[in-house]
Homo-oligomer: A and B are copies of this chain.
Amino acid sequence: MTTPAPEPRFFQPVPLDKAYRLINHGPTVLVSSAHAGEVNVMSAAWACALDFSPPKVTVVIDKATRTRALVEGSGTFALCVPSVGLAALTLGVGTDSALTVPDKLARHGVKTFHAPGHEAVPLVEGCVAWLVCRLMPEPHNQTTYDLFIGEVVGAWADERVFRAGRWHFDGAPDHLRTLHYVAGGQFYATGASLQVGSG
């Protein structure tokens, strides 16, 4: 189901040279993609920044996933950063596959929208950051390691928790903290901020 974009303060553009900071702290992400009218979302703990400028990311997408066909077919995907309020959704779309549970998005309450100018890529509603990526085809990595590389071509964040190039979880509701998956349904929320030196 595609819904209107979130209201602007929940979906502020992030300069591309700061996009790496949306995932630098290692949150679990949702990988969203669409191809030939089919939309899918899976969770991925194995996503990582790869470069600053132009920003690039890596993400592991198993051969057994439906998302893989959509990413390879469309040449594009997004990393959406869910928060504590989406923990059950994140576990659900990481557990169920669209190959065996065709209604997995509806079942887990996933709603998607599009960023202006990026209509080919669905973004997951209720996340706190989004990175739209253009697949940089690397057949050897994809085949051998299930490893995909993307160049970030658009980034946005919820200004309640990310503004001026930094996360600001302290002072925001705890349900907006990002998630770090371990295993067996267990996550950690992003915790206390520490500043070393003068910043």
Contact = CB atoms under 8 A, between A and B. Distances in A.
A24 B183 contact: yes
Contacts of A179: 194
A172 to B, nearest CB: 13
Contact of A147 (B26, B47, B58, B165): B58
Given A28-B26, A46-B49, A191-B189, A183 B196 contact: no
Contacts of A117: none
B167 A50 contact: no
A88 interface: yes
Interface residues of A, number: 53
Nearest to A23: B26
13 contacts: A24-B181, A26-B28, A26-B180, A48-B48, A49-B60, A84-B194, A87-B196, A145-B149, A165-B183, A166-B183, A174-B192, A179-B194, A189-B194
Given A27-B26, A50-B46, A147-B50, A185 B166 contact: no
A37 B49 CA distance: 32
A21 interface: yes
B185 A198 contact: yes
A88 to B, nearest CB: 5
A56 interface: yes
B195 A185 contact: yes
A179 B191 CA distance: 9
A183 B21 contact: yes
A101 to B, nearest CB: 16
Interface string A33-62: 000000000000111111100001010100
B180 A187 contact: no
